[in-house]
Amino acid sequence: MDLSAINPVLLVASLMVAATPLLLAAIGELVVEKAGVLNLGVEGMMIIGAICGFAIAVETTSPALGILAAMLGGAVLSLLFAFLTQVALANQVASGLALTLFGLGLSALLGQSYVGIKPPAMAKLNIPVLSDLPIVGPILFSHDPVLYIGLAIIAATWAVLKFTRAGLILRAVGENHEAAHALGYNVVRVRILAILFGGACAGLGGAYISLIRVPQWTEGMTAGVGWIALALVVFASWKPWRVLLGAYLFGGLTVLQLNLQAAGIPIPVEYLAMSPYLITILVLVIMSADKSGAPASLGRIFHASQ
């Protein structure tokens, strides 16, 4: 065992990177669910974002354009879900699952000519003085811009949901769509906007994997992050800051257990491998002992005539 081989600064820096795709996908889904819609297609939207972002970044050699394309790709795919569930009033669970399958298949098709290609690198933040600070520099001031965007989205989502009229309307739609409708709010429009936001966030999360974290395109490369994001939203009791905590906890433990294995710590590998799932769920479940529950209209179909 050689714990000194683990560099805590690098560890914290890499856990932030590992947590970001999960964080982005989960905060998007949180907004969707707050509006009363259950979209199980997160995995599908992520992988579409991963390939759209990758393809555009390679073609234009601009990672920023790739990131935009990823958000657009995720949002366009989620529009399909919005059409099925909000206009055609299809079952949300079935539509979401279909969206995941469709996304995985379509991304494999789109990505065929991008296997083995290297994407243009996303420049890392480099602030003179600040980025060079010991310890604080590598942890806080030398990441890629998307990581900060992710943190900003968490803060913005929290503020909008808590302090603004728009957030109030969104929550009203999610808690009781009939009442919101009776008050004159356009339930379907609010929900479609929320679904689009969720799609864009998931797409961004996917592109983070294909453009920054790995960076390459491989079929099925999101490998289940979308499903973990869905679970995270529930365990985080639909609260933005808990999503952040959960994502960092999960990402952190994932990276930490890999590091501990490499350092040869004498804990059986099986326990290390399951620790991210176990500890994240445990912490969030204990925290959610208060009365916060799911949005009351979650997953229910709304039609103005009802």
Partner 1 sequence: MNFTKLLASAALVAGLATSAVAEKTKVGFVYVGPVGDGGWTYEHDQGRKAVVDAFGDDVETVYVENVPEGPDAERVMTQMALEGADLIFTTSFGYMDQTINVAKKFPNVKFEHATGYKTADNVSVYSARFYEGRAVQGHIAGKMTETNTIGYIASFPIPEVIRGINSAYLHAKKVNPDVDFKIIWVYTWFDPAKEADAANALIEQGADVILQHTDSTAPQAAAQAAGNVISFGQASDMAEYGPFPRVSSIIDNWAPYYIDRTKAVMDGTWTTTNTWDGIGPGMVGIGEISDHVPADVKAEALEMVEKLGSGEYHAFTGPINKQDGSVWLAEGETADDGTLAGMNFYIEGLEGDVPN
DSSP class of residue 8 equals H
Q: What is the Cα–Cα distance from 193 to 36, expressed in whole angstroms?
A: 12
Q: Of the ranges 27-35, 53-61, 259-267, 279-287, which one interacts with partner 1 (CB under 8 A)? A: 259-267
Does 123 bind partner 1 (CB under 8 A)? Our answer is no
Q: Using CB under 8 A, which of 89, 132, 155, 264 touches partner 1?
A: 264
Does 259 bind partner 1 (CB under 8 A)? Our answer is yes
Residue 142: CB minimum distance to partner 1, A: 15
Does 165 bind partner 1 (CB under 8 A)? Our answer is no
Q: Using CB under 8 A, which of 48, 221, 233, 253 touches partner 1?
A: 221
Q: Of the ranges 65-73, 90-98, 132-140, 223-231, which one interacts with partner 1 (CB under 8 A)? A: 223-231
225 to 244, contacts with partner 1 by CB under 8 A? 225
Please classify residue 17 by burial: count the beta carbons closer than 10 Å to its beta carbon, then call 0-12 exposed, 13-18 middle and 19+ buried. middle
Q: What is the Cα–Cα distance from 210 to 231, expressed in whole angstroms?
A: 22
Does 102 bind partner 1 (CB under 8 A)? Our answer is no
Does 279 bind partner 1 (CB under 8 A)? Our answer is no
For every residue of 57-84, DSSP letters joined together read HHHHS-HHHHHHHHHHHHHHHHHHHHII
Angle between helix 165-175 and 145-163 (nearest 10): 80
Q: What is the Cα–Cα distance from 31 to 33, expressed in whole angstroms?
A: 5
Residue 126: CB minimum distance to partner 1, A: 17
**SS3 sequence, 103-137?**
HHHHHHHHCHHHCCCCCCCCCCCCCCCHHHCCCHH
Helix (H) or strand (E) holding 26: helix 8-34
Q: Are 247 and 257 in contact (CB under 8 A)?
A: no
Does 20 bind partner 1 (CB under 8 A)? Our answer is no
Does 106 bind partner 1 (CB under 8 A)? Our answer is no
Q: What is the Cα–Cα distance from 259 to 10, expressed in whole angstroms?
A: 11
Residue 9: CB minimum distance to partner 1, A: 10
User: What is the token pair recorded at 40?
Assistant: 């199980």
1 vs 304 by CB, closer to partner 1: 1
Q: Of the ranges 35-43, 76-84, 141-149, 211-219, which one interacts with partner 1 (CB under 8 A)? A: 211-219
Q: Using CB under 8 A, which of 84, 172, 255, 284 touches partner 1?
A: 255
Q: Of the ranges 85-93, 191-199, 267-275, 296-304, which one interacts with partner 1 (CB under 8 A)? A: 267-275
Q: Of the ranges 80-88, 114-122, 149-157, 182-190, which one interacts with partner 1 (CB under 8 A)? A: 114-122
Q: What is the Cα–Cα distance from 79 to 33, expressed in whole angstroms?
A: 16
Q: What residues line the site for partner 1 (CB under 8 A)?
A: 5-7, 10-11, 14, 18, 21, 108, 111-112, 115-118, 209, 213-216, 218-225, 254-255, 258-259, 261-264, 266, 268-270, 273
